[in-house]
Amino acid sequence: MSTPFRAAEKKFKDRSLPSDLSTVLDLACADPQRAYEVARGRWAGRFDALTCKPVGHHALAVESLPGALISPIHPQHL
């Protein structure tokens, strides 16, 4: 019996095809200063892969995952 985690893991471990990362949240895609890095990289997700809403000034709440918060800024930079 496979868990949902293992099923998702198999999707990304398959080496025969390039991985589809269109459902993976990639915060670098939203940062214009990292556009060159994203363009050069082999892997790129999407900034809009998950529906998020702002929480305070420096965090995002993932609507589909209650309790999940994303802080794209390292705490020392706040």
For the cut 80, the answer to whether the pLDDT of residue 45 exceeds it is: yes
For the cut 70, the answer to whether the pLDDT of residue 17 exceeds it is: no
For the cut 60, the answer to whether the pLDDT of residue 77 exceeds it is: no
Q: Report how far residue 61's alpha carbon sits from residue 15's, in angstroms, rounded to the nearest whole number.
A: 32
Q: What is the pLDDT of residue 14?
A: 65
Q: Which carries the bigger pLDDT value, residue 35 or residue 2?
A: 35
N-term to C-term CA, the chain = 44
Percent of the chain at pLDDT above 90?
0
pTM of the model: 0.49
Q: What is the pLDDT of residue 78?
A: 46
Q: Which sequence spans correspond to the domains of the chain?
A: 1-47, 50-78
Mean pLDDT of the chain: 78
- Alpha carbon dihedral 76, 42, 49, 29, in 10-degree steps, equals 50
Q: Which carries the bigger pLDDT value, residue 78 or residue 20?
A: 20
